[in-house]
Chain A
Amino acid sequence: MPTSYIPNTKAEQDEMLAAIGVAAVEDLFADIPEAVRLRRDLNLPPARSEGELVAHMQALANENASGTCFAGGGIYDHFIPAAVSEIIGRQEFYSAYTPYQAEMSQGTLQTIFEYQTMICRLTGMDISNASLYDGATACVEAMLIAADVTRRNEIVLAGAIHPEYIAVIKTYARFRNLRITDEITDNCAAVIAQNPNYYGLLEDLETIGQAAKAKGALFIVSVDPISLGILETPAAFGADIVVGEGQALGNPMNFGGPGFGFFACKAAYMRKVPGRIVGETTDANGKRGFLLTLQAREQHIRREKAGSNICSNQALCALAATVYMSIMGKEGLRKVAELCLQKAHYLYDALLATGKFAPRFTAPFFKEFALTYTGGDIKTIYNTMRDNGMTPGIILPDNGLLIAVTEKRTKAEMDVYARSVR
């Protein structure tokens, strides 16, 4: 049965069967025992034409909440330049496989090399890999390296780490016999901090880093890459490994995925880095080229002895980030960060001025902050605002709200927000 995606006609199929030397397609499946054959049609909805499919998908999309987004918590509504979708929409990029055949994949390979360089310049670290699944699993991979390098099995989570990240860290820790503890002891493999932390506050990375070093533990910092437009690099505070969620760099929110996890570290851990790494080399004529390198670390070579099982990562999302950082450039990224900072503080002040919110913290914050709603049940105001096309934030326990303000939010939107809660 030819469909739009299956080219061969019945006549061609018959010709092919004759060339193979069998009478029917059925004969090609003779190795499958009768007892395990499915002798009925799969119970699936009927096939749809392209037009019907688009209408159905649009209807599904229309069921979702939409509008002005003040929710953050690791996934942010930043502006994405049109150039990003233009580039990642090229089939040579999005439909290609992992660049095993280097000479046929110089496009992917060079962009990863450029990505690695940009991530290092952003974080202040020496080397970067080609990406991991997300910010949470990037923390996990860093934690596993720390346990391996130090031969210790305790992990300390310093300050307010994203609850989803804690959940993922706990899952992996359970299966790898690592313990999450509160105190930095002589058995501590790593201290993990997040900056800005889950509530948007800036952590004292210097002090945390020194406490980790004092006990010989690795210092792992999870960061919002946008914040590095103005914030000091984690490297300056002694970080050994810097990770984070890269979605904010040119990727839509997409209900939380796909974004990508970035991973950068000191050169000392080069041979422990998980996943793909691209390196520079030359061909026989001395011409520069790029390829996947240090593959002896990876699962397809080391199998059960590999430090990580990662194979597919989030390459296309990392490419989006590379294009994003190229468009923004040195000045643009700083401006994005500056706009977030200014606007977040404007809304913070405006909401406190309503008298319906109380502050939760006093530490400095970047683009996100947590408040307690004192004007009634937060869920009531949340639902009203949602129905009016605005997501006011993420509801926290004890009638709290976590509010993120990106450069996309306008003064007018924020004034509407403040009026809505009055």
Chain B
Amino acid sequence: MNQVIFEKSIPGRSAYSLPACDVPARKTEDLIPNQMLRANVAELPELSEVDVLRHFVGLSQKNYGVLSGIYPLGSCTMKYNPIVNERVAGLDGFTGTHPSMDCPGNLRLMGELQAMLAEITGMDAVTLQPAAGSHGEMTGLMIMKAYHEKRGEPQRTKILVPDSAHGTNPASVTMAGLQTVQIKSDLSGNVDLDDLRAHIDGQLAGLMLTNPNTLGLFEVNIQEIAALIHAAGGLLYYDGANQNAICGITRPGDMGFDVIHLNLHKTFSTPHGGGGPGSGPVGVKQALVPFLPVPTVVYDDGSYRFGGDNPDSIGKVRSFYGNFAIMVRAYAYIRSMGAQGLKAVSENAVLNANYLMAGLRDFMKIEYDRTCMHEFVASGLPQKEQGVSTLDIAKRMLDYNVHPPTVYFPLIVREAMMFEPTETESKQTLDALVETMQTILTEAAENPELVKTAPHNRPVGRLDELKAARKPVLTWDQRTP
């Protein structure tokens, strides 16, 4: 029985343990005017501590994490989150710090992390303030807009975005008060240079690019693209979602990018938390440093401090300094890996992806016949034509206790299945995944109903999305009794 917590509530039961009031108590009404006091107490559930723990432990068992099995979710880099990083992020000396306190250790950690991320990406300065990847995108785009305005070119408001881009890219463009212009991909999956040239004009603010792109392919023309954009007075923005393919091998700064964001919850191993908290640091080249959000951590006189009384700064994009506890984990990860370790991360991520692609190629449609980087896109189109969709295949994977790849993205590939195994998977788990996929595709051919009605052994069967959207029930109080 999947009861929600309110259905387990028993009036008068409690789990809290609070101290007695050790100061002389005064009447609440003497301290706060009556009309400001709650007429009715907030109806939070009433359970014992055991009730609460059993409830949430039970729910955790209906979830799937990286330690439950392979999680080849493309573009999400679901790698192992080292346990020790959880441990050190939980040290009282970090968790107990208030943002107004004097914290030289925190400042040193942030300052060193800024410097390490700048080195890894080939940028000149980094801010750690953005709370997630798309927040970083928006911050970077605001910096680009402010740069053009400062140079007396406020008409530069056009951002070119490839059709293979993450949905956050165009959405972030809008958040920064800029306009998206979509650019086509060519037959090999790279940016179509002719289409790019056709869209360059005096309103160009810049180009947003993910490289390797969301098809898992490296933009072989990156130098030419950079030259085109720069010659036209535009800036190059790097979406670092796919940084896991290139650590120690190439750097966005060396490719010609002017602004980048990273997802610490992807390449730098911090856990995804079921949808955050993440962290989206932004790096810039020298010309854009004055526009960074404040404060950044600066180093002078042998110590780190908050600085940045910069009149050209875009200001703040989040309260305080960002998701500090996530920075602690990413810092610990980089300090564990070192330069050679990070390079091995990318080499093995790319090796694993190519190995998995080679294994699947025998019986699945692989969209681009090229070496891939850390991820690749397969298509369920042949199965779709037989009546079994990519969604069906993904749902059947749940029955085999395998997390499906990213499906129906990128949008330019029909029935897309985007696999990213990451470097932390072994040859054995990749072999097992190939075997599972082969079994499912055989089922799709021989017993399509089995696949079309999957999953069969999960806590719930396939859920009705239309019903949920047609008459939304978004809280327990909105349900029809």
Comparing A110-118, A186-194, A212-220, A354-362, the segment that makes contact with chain B is A110-118
Per-residue interface assignment for chain A, residues 310 to 344, with 1 indicating a CB less than 8 Å from any chain B CB and 0 otherwise: 11111111010001011111111111101101110
Contact A232 B317 (CB under 8 A): no
Contact A95 B65 (CB under 8 A): yes
Per-residue interface assignment for chain A, residues 111 to 127, with 1 indicating a CB less than 8 Å from any chain B CB and 0 otherwise: 10110111011100011
Chain A residue contacts of B316, Cβ below 8 A: 136, 164, 167-168, 171
Query: Restricting to A265-319, which residues have a CB under 8 Å from any CB of B?
Result: 270, 276-285, 287-291, 293-294, 296, 298-306, 308-317, 319
Chain B residue contacts of A54, Cβ below 8 A: 84, 87-88
Given A2, A56, A64, A411, which contacts B101 in the complex, CB threshold below 8 Å?
A: A64
Chain B residue contacts of A277, Cβ below 8 A: 472, 474
Q: Quick one: which of A42, A116, A118, A255 has the most chain B CB within 10 A?
A: A255
If A42-B120, A283-B463 touch, whether A74 touches B319 (CB-CB below 8 Å) is yes
Chain B residue contacts of A305, Cβ below 8 A: 174
CB distance from B405 to the nearest CB of A (A): 10
CB distance from B184 to the nearest CB of A (A): 15
Query: Restricting to B264-297, which residues have a CB under 8 Å from any CB of A?
Result: 265, 269, 271-278, 293
Chain A residue contacts of B247, Cβ below 8 A: 42
CA gap between A316 and B321 in the complex, in Å: 19
Chain A residue contacts of B42, Cβ below 8 A: 121-122, 228-229, 330, 333-334
B202, CB-defined interface residue at 8 Å:
no
Chain B residue contacts of A332, Cβ below 8 A: 14-16, 18, 44
Given B6, B174, B250, B321, which contacts A306 in the complex, CB threshold below 8 Å?
A: B174
Contact A283 B462 (CB under 8 A): yes
Query: Restricting to B376-415, which residues have a CB under 8 Å from any CB of A?
Result: 394-395, 398, 403-404, 409
Chain A residue contacts of B273, Cβ below 8 A: 93-94, 96, 314-317, 319
CB distance from A71 to the nearest CB of B (A): 4
Contact A20 B354 (CB under 8 A): yes
Contact A91 B66 (CB under 8 A): yes
Q: How many residues of B contact A (CB 8 A)?
A: 202
A231, CB-defined interface residue at 8 Å:
yes
Look across to chain A and name the residue whose beta carbon is closest to the beta carbon of B87: A54
CA gap between A313 and B277 in the complex, in Å: 6
Q: Quick one: which of B2, B145, B323 has the most chain A CB within 10 A?
A: B323
Chain B residue contacts of A20, Cβ below 8 A: 351, 354-355, 358
CA gap between A20 and B351 in the complex, in Å: 9
Contact A94 B14 (CB under 8 A): no
If A312-B272, A327-B52 touch, whether A289 touches B460 (CB-CB below 8 Å) is yes
Chain A residue contacts of B275, Cβ below 8 A: 97-99, 108, 130, 276, 312-313, 315-316
Contact A137 B318 (CB under 8 A): yes
Contact B60 A107 (CB under 8 A): yes
* Additional pairs, 13, CB under 8 Å, beyond known A30-B371, A75-B99: A3-B341, A91-B67, A94-B86, A96-B273, A167-B315, A171-B317, A254-B94, A280-B468, A288-B2, A316-B271, A329-B14, A329-B46, A407-B18
